[in-house]
Each structure stands twice: as structure tokens, then as C-alpha cells.
Amino acid sequence: MKHILIASAIILFVSCNRNSDSFDATGAFEATEILVSSEANGKIMEFNIEEGDRLEAGAVLGYIDSTQLYLKKMQLLAGLRSVDIRKPDIRKQIAALEQQIATARSEQQRMENLVRAKAGNQKQVDDIVNNIKFLQKQLDAQYSSLDKTSGGADAEAESIQYQVMQLDDQLQKCRIANPQTGIVLVKYAEPGEVTAAGKPLYKIADTDLLYLRAYVTADQLSQAKNGQSVRVFADYGDDRREYPGIITWVSEKSEFTPKGIQTKDERANLVYAIKIAVKNDGFLKIGQYGEMTFN
């Protein structure tokens, strides 16, 4: 009986050592999580998601009340039409003076012909020339005034257009659009609630690609480098699955071994964190423990 107990103890000891040496590090699976916040202030009119839903990037999930923004935009557009109506038609307003100048030049030509034929006098020609100069100055002054008025109207219209563009951007942000494909982890708001810019609406994570955050000792650092292939294991009760993994990050600084994390050398106090990208087959979950070995 005594020999049986000793043999059992030896087998158990060897088994434990074999299990502890079957991996190089352990850790937990995590994903890149995004906290989606409101970009507008107002009442949530529609918000069609539930925790666990899978959402596609760009999907519109609902909207925030935008009535006041829309009315302000309509007011600006009315102001834009008003500016356009007030803008002077320069060609029409200077047409009369241009016609007077053209008539005076024709009269000047006729009088010069009469003077050459000894049938008119030079004073009449001079009077017409002076009148043309006067009309030309009037035309230049009116054109300058109308040009400034038109330029001011254009600048005012441009300013209003920029305000309309700002409102269009704010109206666009009233739509709740999903930024990336993933699974809804937490929902923070409901339809009918009043939200504000920066207030969280929901949290989403891309669970198609998970990361095993494991910890290795200083002795193992020589085996860990970015882009290196490793073997990752996850336990599902009696079932154990193996996944190919790629090291995507190695910490530059050491830290104390986190609670619940095992390393190949349990005596090590200082360890280095690494992240291993693992393609999810649908079974891996965030927070699930995993093991890894260097190939």
C-alpha cells in the first residue's frame, strides 16, 4: 500500500511538471474596443441596437433630434436668397450712361465733320468733348460703387454659405453611425434620453481578431519579436483548441507579474507584456484565458 501511494505521488508530480512546462506563458484574450460617443446635443429619437448585435461599419443606428439645426439652416438659406436679390445688376445700371457716352461720341464725330467742312464751330466740338469726359467720370464712379456693392454682397453670401456648411456638418453628426464592424459590448443610452456631445452611447469591439496579452520573463525575450509566429491554446472545458498567432507588440518596460498570470519561471517577479494576434473562429471570447508556446 505504501509503495502504491509513493508511485501515485511520483506520477502526480511528473504530471504537474509536464503541464507547467507545456506552455511558455499565459494571459487573457482582449479586443480593440471603441467607445462610441454622441457628436450632437439633443434628444435621442431613434437608437436601434442591442448588446450582442453585430454591426457593420457605416451602418446608421439612429439619430438625435435636429429640428432646431434644420430651421436655422432654412433661415440662412432665406438670407442667402435675400442677398442675391439685393445684389446690383451692374450691366443694366450703367447701360444708360454708356448709351449717353456713345451718343455724345457720335455727335462729336458729326460736329468735327462740320468743322472740317467750314459749316460748324470748334466751341461746339469742345463742349461735346468736355461732356464726354464728364459722363466718363460719372460712369467710372458708378461702376466703382456698384462693383464694391456687388463684392460686399458676394462676401456676405460666401459667409452665409460657410454657416450653411457648418450646419450641414452638425446635421450629419446627428446621425448615429457605426465606426467599425464588430459586436456591441455595452449599450449606455436609450431612445428618449437626452444626450450631449461626448456622452457615451455604446461600446463596440472587433471580435474577428482577438489579442492574447501574455507575459514572458526576461530570459524569454530573445524568443519574442514582432511578426513571430507562435502557438496559442484555449480551453473549453474538456476541449482544447490550438490557434496560430502572430506577435504584434512587445513591451519595452518590465512590470510585476499580474495576479493569476503564470509564466514558465514562476519565481520571476518582473515580466514583459506581449500581444499576440489570433484569428477568432467564433469560439474565443474577450477575457477568456489562453496559453502560448514559442514555435
Residue 11: its pLDDT value, please?
A: 35
Beta carbons within 10 angstroms of residue 290's beta carbon: 24
In contact, 36 and 178? CB cutoff 8 Å: yes
CATH 2.40.30.170 fits 23-33+206-294, yes or no: yes
The ranges of the chain with pLDDT < 70 are 1-21, 259-268
- For the beta sheet containing 42-47, the strands, ordered from the edge strand earlier in sequence to the opposite edge, are 175-177, 60-64, 42-47, 194-195
Q: What is the DSSP letter of 172?
A: H
Closest CA to 215 of 167, 259, 176: 259
Q: Which CATH number fits the domain 35-65+174-204, given the four candidates 2.60.120.590, 3.90.1300.10, 3.40.1390.10, 2.40.50.100?
A: 2.40.50.100
For 198-242, write each residue's pLDDT tens digit.
Answer: 999 999 999 999 999 999 988 888 889 999 999 999 988 778 899
Residue ranges of domains in the chain: 23-33+206-294, 35-65+174-204, 67-173
Residue 240: its pLDDT value, please?
A: 87
H or E element at residue 271: strand 270-279
- Stated pTM of the model: 0.69
3-state secondary structure of 65: coil
Q: What is the DSSP letter of 263?
A: B
